[in-house]
Amino acid sequence: MVQEKRSDTNISKRFVASSAIFLSFIVGLEIVIMISPFAFFFYAAFNPFLLALNQSSMTRWLTAFFLPHMVIPPNEALTVVRILGSVFFVAGMLIFLVCAVQVYAGKLLKRGVAIKGFYNIIRHPQYLGLGLAALGLAIMWPRFLTLTLFAVMLFLYYLLAKDEERRMTNRFGESYISYMNRTGMFFPRFIEKVLIGSPKPQQRLGVGKAILIFAALLVVVVGGGFIL
């Protein structure tokens, strides 16, 4: 019974996280869909959602653009930023796909835990790849709604990463703890030391700390949009 409950919880977590990144990509790809033959069908479903956000002054800002000229950049500086957005998106998707092939090939060939390639540097390169891709989309189609979903997506994938590490530690014990101690979570170990000191990867995540991390992400990501 306990095992079934844990399985249901893991499925729920993955569903919520996948929904967040799916919404982020849909909102970010709005510009692509606008010029496609499917634009009418897309807006038949999506436009009521945007109109609903516009009904209240508390949510109206979500549909605004924090870089209104980014679709057609008016100067060289914004052109470079837009190109960087495309680079982030392509690089992120490539990282995600390469790591996905590595993980599923390892499962099929029963090679055990993936610890080579990108996994030799960081523990969750797939999540990093998806984060880069979502950042690229936020730059290419800079709506506040995209930024908010981006912050939610980052937080959910952080929670999933912590949960995966807990399960891997329970399964593989000291060998996985040793792997965690020599690799970074989302960035190389030496960068994490500069950003947050010497993190203890096996430390449990409390509710209070999780709330602070989520609040910090919202402030940094959405606040960065307002500053821009």
CA–CA distance, 213 with 2 (Å, rounded to integer): 29
Q: What is each CA distance from 87 to 136, 191, 214, in whole angstroms?
A: 7, 22, 27
Per-residue pLDDT band at 47 (split at 50, 70, 90): confident
CA–CA distance, 38 with 29 (Å, rounded to integer): 12
When the pLDDT of each residue in the chain is averaged and rounded to a whole number, the result is: 80
Q: Domain range for residue 21?
A: 2-227
Total number of domains in the chain: 1
Residue whose token pair is 């995540």: 205
CA–CA distance, 154 with 134 (Å, rounded to integer): 9
CA–CA distance, 75 with 44 (Å, rounded to integer): 34
- Residue 2 is predicted with a pLDDT of 43
* Inter-residue contact 171 to 156 (CB < 8 Å): no
Helix (H, G, I), strand (E, B) or coil at 140: helix
Q: What CATH number is given to the structural domain containing 51?
A: 1.20.120
For residue range 83-133, list pLDDT tens digits in order.
898 899 899 999 999 988 888 877 776 666 667 788 888 989 998 998 898
* Inter-residue contact 84 to 132 (CB < 8 Å): no
